[in-house]
Amino acid sequence: MAWNLKTEERGEGRKIALKEKGIYDANPKLKIQCKIDPLIMMEAVRNCKAHNIKIGAHPGLPDLQGFGRREMKLSPEELTAITVYQVGALKGFLDREGVPLHHVKPHGILYGMMCRDYEVAKAVMLGIPKGIPVFGLAGTNMEKAAKDLGIPFWAELYGDVKYRADGSLVIDRKKKPWDLADVEKHVTQQVRTQSVTAVDGTQVNLPMGDYPVSICCHSDSPGCVGIIGKTREVVDKFNKDREAGIV
């Protein structure tokens, strides 16, 4: 199992994109929202290139007012088309800078819809460029669709999101602050035991298998730079212990 840290740059507006430059110093992979101001996309790509950060696309539903966090009923053809359209938009900026697309991770409510609905997951993944990995929740229809279509799959964990007893994610429209001690405990449990404590206290097993693993932190979480740093600290220690044969 390969452990890597990925943080998410949501790019919800120019203010966020400019003020969160500290995140570029803390992580090797970053995902760029595909439905935002093209100037922000261009700036984010250039910043990532300058910091030697691998870039992923973050396509979502065409819900501009709700920023892709409200469910919409789209046909399979529409889901494939919006994925091609949005990933292609980012790919245009990447090509200009001579930077490859590293991965694709669905955004917002679309991520949850793909976990629950195989046909949605399949339709979206048909829009992903051949050979590009998709990041998703292991043990769900995202993993199944990727396997059926021959798409490389990375299992995803979360540094700043809580889980329900069924293994699904608790999505807050407005991110709540995390105490860094709680972040350390939350991430350590996931990487050390492949389990997580749900919001009701249930211990939930995480079916990571032998996939490469990414840990997601969000740039719109309060204190995101501290969260990213603490997550990175936990992951680096885990990797060091694995190399030493301790875990």
pTM for this predicted structure = 0.87
According to the model, what pLDDT value does residue 245 have? 84
According to the model, what pLDDT value does residue 106 have? 95
According to the model, what pLDDT value does residue 35 have? 64
Alpha helices in 64-161 (DSSP H): 76-97, 108-116, 118-125, 141-149
Long-range contacts of 110-113 (CB under 8 A, 24+ apart): 110/59, 110/60, 110/61, 110/68, 111/136, 111/137, 111/142, 112/168, 112/169, 112/171, 113/71
CATH 3.30.930.10 fits 3-243, yes or no: no
According to the model, what pLDDT value does residue 63 have? 79
Binned average pLDDT, 10 residues per bin, the chain of 247 residues? 48 44 63 75 90 91 77 95 96 97 93 97 98 96 98 95 94 86 97 96 94 88 89 90 84
If DSSP codes are grouped into helix, strand and coil, which group holds residue 205? strand
- The phi and psi torsions of 202 (rounded to 5 degrees) equal -65, 140
According to the model, what pLDDT value does residue 10 have? 46
According to the model, what pLDDT value does residue 114 have? 97
According to the model, what pLDDT value does residue 172 have? 79
CB atoms near residue 195 (< 10 Å): 13
According to the model, what pLDDT value does residue 243 have? 86
According to the model, what pLDDT value does residue 25 have? 64
